[in-house]
């Protein structure tokens, strides 16, 4: 018994399948006869392969694989045709009497109840971080800002040097930064895009820069990958008053006109003077709670006037132009807006969270 037996099985299968037609029961009997797990003829052919001498196994194995694929494909087609026949028979014909259509149903064994509800389609939802990002973008677009983007794999000069971050700064340590071969790294903030824009564009400049950033940090409130959004405005005569007014307008639009905004002295290498920005606690109304640690205030972002040395690094005349910059974490804003207690829930892929935003 060799390849001739394979041809016999193929011919017998085709004949039996043709005789079965669109009868689902008959097609199933053909499947069991030829492709059944225990007694199918394909199993018999496969077992014979082990008994052949080595010089015959190659041709026999090739023919066996071909007939297996052919039988599987034709059985799939036959089962689909039989199923379609059952459905058509079950649906019957629609008769219209006046304004009320009625359906004639076939035999009980092929009945299809067309009044049953269909398979539910789960509605998709936007991620809360994406929702917050879009809200912030819309606010600044109305204020005349452009939305910019830049590479996530950044060079050392744009990520650090151009932003007045010296070689001995702690942010450049291996335990804080994901370094890549050569002078490259995964950007630690979105500020490099500010440097790239200032290099290539003459003031006035008004941009926001949303995107992913990376740092070696992971706990309840930190993630190795997270989202930031930066803002930059450069023009003649820009002062701290413009910065404060811009941030108040933005935070009132994002949260509520009722929130209070305060600026505290801070430090960032690329701004001078620098300020930490707080809002009055949106959960307790400054009475003190767990979210604000009893202080009545929530730290929301960092900001400041662009350091003249940053302007010099990117070729902007610091005697003529001034500007301000600010940055905030989109993930933290999403946690505050939607009351999400653990940052890791934003990246766990749990649909129970995202379905709440459908």
Q: What is the pLDDT of residues 96-154, one digit of tens each?
A: 444 444 444 444 444 667 788 888 887 778 888 999 999 999 999 999 999 999 999 99
Least trusted range by pLDDT, from 200-204, 224-228, 287-291: 287-291
Fold adopted by 128-357:
BirA Bifunctional Protein; domain 2 (3.30.930)
d(CA 241, CA 2): 92
Domain boundaries, given as residue ranges, for the chain: 3-110, 128-357
CB neighbour class for 257 (10 Å; exposed up to 12, middle 13-18, buried from 19): exposed
Tell me, what DSSP letter sits at residue 206?
E
- DSSP codes of every residue in 290-336: TTTTTSSEEEEEEEEEEPHHHHHHHT--TTT-EEEEEEEEHHHHHHH
Is residue 39 within 8 A of residue 56, CB to CB? The reply is no
pLDDT at 220: 60
Q: How far does CA 164 lie from the centroid of its chain?
A: 33
How many beta carbons lie within 10 A of that of residue 124, not counting itself? 10
pTM as predicted: 0.64
Between 222 and 115, the more confident residue is 115
């Amino acid at each position: 018994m060799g390849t001739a037996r394979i041809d016999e099985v193929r011919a017998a299968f085709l004949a039996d399948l043709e005789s079965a037609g669109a009868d689902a029961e008959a097609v199933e009997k053909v499947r069991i006869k030829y492709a059944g797990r225990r007694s199918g003829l394909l199993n018999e052919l496969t077992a014979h392969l082990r008994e052949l001498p080595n010089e015959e196994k190659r041709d026999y194995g090739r023919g066996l694989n071909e007939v297996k694929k052919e039988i599987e494909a034709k059985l799939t087609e036959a089962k689909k045709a039989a199923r379609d026949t059952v459905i058509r028979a079950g649906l019957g014909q629609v008769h219209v009497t006046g304004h009320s259509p009625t359906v004639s149903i076939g035999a009980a064994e092929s009945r299809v109840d067309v009044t049953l509800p269909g398979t539910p389609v789960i509605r998709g939802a936007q991620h809360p971080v994406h929702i917050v990002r879009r809200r912030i973008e819309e606010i600044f677009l109305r204020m005349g800002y452009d939305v910019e983007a830049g590479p996530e794999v950044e060079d050392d000069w744009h990520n650090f040097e151009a932003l007045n971050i010296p070689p001995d700064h702690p942010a450049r340590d291996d335990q804080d930064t994901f370094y890549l071969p050569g002078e490259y790294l995964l950007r630690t903030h979105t500020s490099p895009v500010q440097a790239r824009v200032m290099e290539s564009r003459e003031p006035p400049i008004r941009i926001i820069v949303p995107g992913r950033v990376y740092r070696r940090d992971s706990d309840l409130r930190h993630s190795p990958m997270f989202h930031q959004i930066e803002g930059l405005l450069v023009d003649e005569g820009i002062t701290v008053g413009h910065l404060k007014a811009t941030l108040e307008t933005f935070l009132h639009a994002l949260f509520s006109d009722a929130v209070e905004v305060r600026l505290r002295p801070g430090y960032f290498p690329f701004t001078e003077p620098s300020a930490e920005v707080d809002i009055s606690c949106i959960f307790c109304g400054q009475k003190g709670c767990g979210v604000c640690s009893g202080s009545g205030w929530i730290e929301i972002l960092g900001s400041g006037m662009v350091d003249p040395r940053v302007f010099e690094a990117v070729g902007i005349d610091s005697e003529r132009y001034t500007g301000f910059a600010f940055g905030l974490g989109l993930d933290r804003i999403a946690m505050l807006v939607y009351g999400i207690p653990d940052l890791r829930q934003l990246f766990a892929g749990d649909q129970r969270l995202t379905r709440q935003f459908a």
